[in-house]
């Protein structure tokens, strides 16, 4: 058996274990502790393209095997990550985050959009030390710079520079984390 075949078998085992058991266990912050954080992390190591140390994959998360998850990072409760996504180290992710890496094709008007398939995949990159708030949606090809904060409910349609605080729909940078506030 070659390395690629072994990797596919590991992914399948991880997927069966995650989607049949680990996904349904209580969130990590629950007072009920049954090893859920450790089990989901183990599944992540089997399933993901890369899975760092001390990760936290939460309850009901759905993710592609093309996700890379850095050290001390998390995938939030009910998160949905479709396609290729690189998540740096020390990234916090709130609940109900959606990351999309491709959209439906719609350039032709002579046939229904649902029959046009998909456009090309545009990977999403989230830098180190980012905080992605609850119910954020990140669209294809977006790069979120390291040390940034994306406010809850934001829809990120364009790249976000490092050390930025961005909010809204579409998300706009409202402040730099490097600015000193006068009190």
Q: Show which residues are catalytic.
A: 104
Tokens matching residue 135: 């119910």
* DSSP H helical ranges for the chain: 3-20, 36-47
Instruction: Say if residue 115 is exposed, middle or buried (CB neighbours under 10 Å; 0-12, 13-18, 19+).
Output: exposed
Phi, psi of 40 (to 5 degrees): -65, -35
Q: How many CB atoms within 10 Å of residue 72?
A: 17
Q: Which tokens is 163 given?
A: 């050390």
């Amino acid at each position: 058996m070659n390395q690629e075949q072994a990797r596919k078998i590991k992914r399948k085992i991880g997927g069966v274990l995650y989607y049949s058991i680990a996904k349904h266990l209580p969130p990590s912050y629950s007072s009920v502790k049954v090893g859920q954080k450790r089990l989901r992390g183990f599944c992540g190591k089997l399933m993901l393209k890369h899975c760092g140390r001390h990760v936290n994959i939460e309850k009901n998360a759905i993710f592609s095997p093309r996700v890379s998850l850095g050290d001390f990072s998390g995938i939030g409760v009910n998160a949905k990550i479709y396609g290729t996504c690189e998540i740096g180290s020390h990234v916090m992710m709130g609940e109900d985050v959606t990351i999309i890496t491709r959209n439906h094709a719609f350039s032709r008007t002579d046939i229904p959009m649902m029959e046009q398939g998909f456009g090309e995949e545009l990977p999403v990159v989230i830098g180190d030390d980012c905080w992605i708030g609850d119910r954020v949606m990140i669209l294809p090809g977006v790069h979120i710079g390291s040390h940034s904060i994306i406010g809850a409910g934001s829809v990120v349609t364009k790249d976000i520079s490092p050390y930025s605080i961005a909010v809204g729909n579409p998300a706009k940078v409202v402040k730099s984390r490097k600015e000193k506030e006068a009190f």
